[in-house]
Amino acid sequence: MKADPFDILQADFVAALTVGAGADAAPPTFVEVAFGGRSNVGKSSLINTLVQRKGLVRTSGTPGCTRQVNLFETRARDGAAVVLADLPGYGFAKRSKDERRQWADLIERYLRDRVTLRAVVVVTDARRGFEEDDVQLVSFARTARRPDLAPLVVIPVATKIDRLPRSSAHAHVKKLGKAVGVPVVPFSAVTGEGRHELWQAIRKAASLVPLANDEQNRHNAAEPSAEIDGGRRGIQGGS
């Protein structure tokens, strides 16, 4: 039986960026891909499924539990390494206005200034679709990078696809893509649907090298970035 190149042999928590810390407070290692979305859309379960670890990212039925940017270093069977960054969920109304604003500022600084960041996976519940907060995150990721850094690739994902009728699920997801202007990856943490497709999108966006050694992956992380122009629209801290 052929080995699955997307088997994750290593997945470890390595650092956290907290409110008030600079975007590079945790020393970068490999290229990074961030995961953002509204509170309780299944982001933690998605990451756990992606890396084949049930308890790597803490899951909770209570929205708003993630209050920092948590960094997880992963390595696949073929040697490709990438750091996954779990962002605080946004749009959670039961936190104070000041706390939500602090979270939004933390996310903005990380997306704007983190040198090793290459892409943002924007996660939504397939049943709800992309809401205003999600569209703002997509817009910010595309336009607000520092001028000396390359623009971020946006990878939209619709989770909990298994909860939609199979006969209409993929047509529904295709329709969701119109809200963000790019195709959406359907994903299920229950069945594993979309796992390979999401890894393929992440690898392409992050320029990961199969069978690469640490030096090559670290070189990719430190590679000079292209200059871009763009406006700056902030992320709302919730309502």
Q: Report the half-sphere exposure of 167 (CA within 13 A, side-chain side).
A: 0
Q: What is the pLDDT of residues 77-135, one digit of tens each?
A: 989 999 999 998 886 545 556 666 776 888 899 999 999 999 999 999 999 999 999 99
Least confident of 12-21, 49-58, 70-79, 176-185: 12-21
Least confident of 19-28, 69-78, 150-159: 19-28
Q: Taking the domains of the chain in order of start, what are their residue ranges?
A: 8-221
How many Å separate Cα 64 from the centre of its chain?
16
Q: What is the CATH number of domain 8-221?
A: 3.40.50.300
User: Which contiguous run of DSSP H or E holds residue 128?
Assistant: none
Minimal CA–CA distance to 142: which of 110, 114, 116, 112? 112
Q: What is the pLDDT of residues 32-60, one digit of tens each?
A: 999 999 988 999 999 999 999 988 987 65
Contact 44, 105 (CB under 8 A): no
pTM, 2 dp: 0.83
CA distances from 58 to 44, 153, 227 (A): 7, 26, 37
Contact 216, 209 (CB under 8 A): yes
